[in-house]
Structure 1
């Protein structure tokens, strides 16, 4: 793909860091910190676009579809990172949110040269996942021009999947290949072209927003508590007990007993305590309430 990289915002020079090579440590840190403060404001400017992406993802989940992130290099790693954090945080099946990085899993730790330049490779990767029209694919590329991402988005759209393009440049090439674009303009990097900095931070924030918002809409929170946390170790078991106690007001011992009787399912334990029901009855209440703890409890309190 022929293009003058210097025309991209992500490749332009930052006038505030021109003399950074001669700066003292504190001055370097101050410059970076001042630039990082601009990231959240840039994300704020694209909240409506992020909302549209969340709606796509939520609708996919409701239909039994998946959220698939696809990217190369730092962008691909950020997608993988967000995906692998969903099962422990929200007790989701690992298949529900997935991250694909150009060059395969090994590219997460070591760059695979040339992988990002092959659009057909993305098609093969998505076909291997058996992508369907019920899924949502989010292509991530700070530059907005990565061939691998373009290929993936084109294929996803061709089979009817919802598509989102996430970049840090206006009129990005990947935006033309998606149903919804998110172009978060964070400005030039402190180190020219090093998009693991502000661009990477912006993308991490946005991916956090998309996955977390979608999970909240699925009923995986009570107030601001993670009631669907996966209890896989002692630390998470203690967190689960703490969450149950905050919501129900019971003693540590009662919360522990309920959690164990609920097969370590936090939501079930909460409903059991709040509605004075058995595990089976609590599970049915949650099912009837589409997984929302408050709605399950309100069904009994009415």
Structure 2
């Protein structure tokens, strides 16, 4: 399918005259289109759940979440990868965002970089991609060469491949083990896939990465118990988490956090059992082997 025939490239009949609308009419039109995004994502819930289950198995074995994309799609992947580190205390090398054009492309548009399949293969080779890894190929059009090349190489290596596209029967979907296709329809501004398509991609990435982290034991009830307290806000949050989960005072929670070397799960076990830090750490290490 040529680019001009993609759903993401069609003109939206509901916004043909957005340039002459009042500001409120403009906002209402954009909001009305955005409401279609959640519906498109919901239709892919079964596929998203499958992606979470398979990715969780690989991640448990030591595999990495590796996001690949170009432009907005690439930036959303980098964002998801980066935020997993402080939120769930995973090592930075366990979640990696690759964007066509490299780090510079996060801040400057390097559009030509997305046209190279070989560039993605090179980037993944530099990471020493293995069969344990999970490669999430993100492309609104479902045909970006950089993402196509990355998925092809990941398949050769035997890694788990997951694709996110915003068109049906996408090229990337045909390459991936799990294909998530959130068809959000034509954009408010023709071809501006940073809008509805980008929103859909962010929603799906949130679901996949959060689901994987839940299945790693990073969440207790609905609390992110493995948060890394790297600033005053996160130290305060960590203290309140220990207070709630351990049923101890705020003062005791703060003290336990210090004794646990700022490891929230360890402090929670200490609060619940009156064990010392070493015993709590040993208990958690053994539990994570199951």
SS in 2 for 1:134: coil
- How far the C-alpha of 1:248 sits from its partner, in A, is 2.0
After superposition, where does 1:23-62 map in structure 2 within 5 Å?
23-62=21-60
The number of equivalent residue pairs is 290
Structure-2 separation of matches of 1:157 and 1:258: 46
Match of 2:135 in 1: 137
Question: 1:80 deviation in Å?
Answer: 0.2
Residues 58 and 218, structure 1, Cα contact 8 Å, conserved in 2: yes
Whether the 8 Å contact between 1:220 and 1:227 is mirrored in structure 2 is yes
- Give runs of aligned pairs for residues 227-242 of structure 1, distance below 5 A: 227-242=225-240
Structure 1 position 22 matched with structure 2 position 44: no
Q: CA RMSD in A?
A: 1.1
For residues 175-217 of structure 1, the C-alpha deviation after alignment (integer angstroms, 9 at most, x for no partner) is 1111111111111110011000000000000001111110011
Match of 1:174 among 143, 166, 172: 172
Distance 1:9 1:180 in 2: 21
Equivalent position SS for 1:114: helix
Contact 2:247 2:272 in 1 (8 A): no
Match of 1:298?
none
Alignment match, 2:90: 92
What aligned pairs does 1:264-283 form with structure 2 within 5 A after superposition? 264-283=262-281
Q: Please state if 1:243 is matched with 2:241.
A: yes
Could you list the runs of 4 or more consecutive aligned residues of structure 1 that deviate by over 6 angstroms after TM superposition? none
Q: Which position in structure 1 is the counterpart of 2:252?
A: 254
Q: Per-residue deviation at 1:289?
A: 1.8
**1:70-97 deviation per Cα after TM superposition (whole angstroms, max 9, x unaligned):** 0000000000000000111000000101
Question: What is the CA–CA distance in structure 1 between the aligned matches of 2:165 and 2:111, rounded to whole Å?
Answer: 21
Q: Distance in 1 between matches of 2:213 and 2:190?
A: 36
Residue 283 of structure 2 corresponds to: 285
* Cα distance per residue 1:200-236 (max 9 Å; x no partner): 0000000011111100110011111110000111111
Q: 1:101-250 residue pairs with structure 2 within 5 A?
A: 101-250=99-248
- CA shift for structure 1 position 69: 0.5
In structure 2, how many angstroms separate the alpha carbons of the residues matched to 1:222 and 1:216?
8
- Displacement of 1:53: 1.2
Q: 1:220–1:291: 8 Å Cα contact kept in structure 2?
A: no
Contact 2:114 2:144 in 1 (8 A): yes
CA distance in 1, matches of 2:205, 2:228: 20
Alpha-carbon distance, 1:291 to partner: 8.0
**How far does residue 257 in structure 1 lie from its aligned partner after superposition?**
0.6
Give the Cα separation in 2 of the matches to 1:14 and 1:211: 31
Question: Does the 8 Å contact 1:103/1:115 carry over to 2?
Answer: yes
Normalized against structure 2, the TM-score is what?
Answer: 0.98
User: Tell me, what secondary structure is at the counterpart of 1:100?
Assistant: strand
What's the CA shift for 1:131? 0.4
SS in 1 for 2:220: coil
Structure 1 length-normalised TM: 0.94
Q: Residue 111 of structure 1: CA displacement?
A: 1.2
Give secondary structure in 2 for the equivalent of 1:181: strand
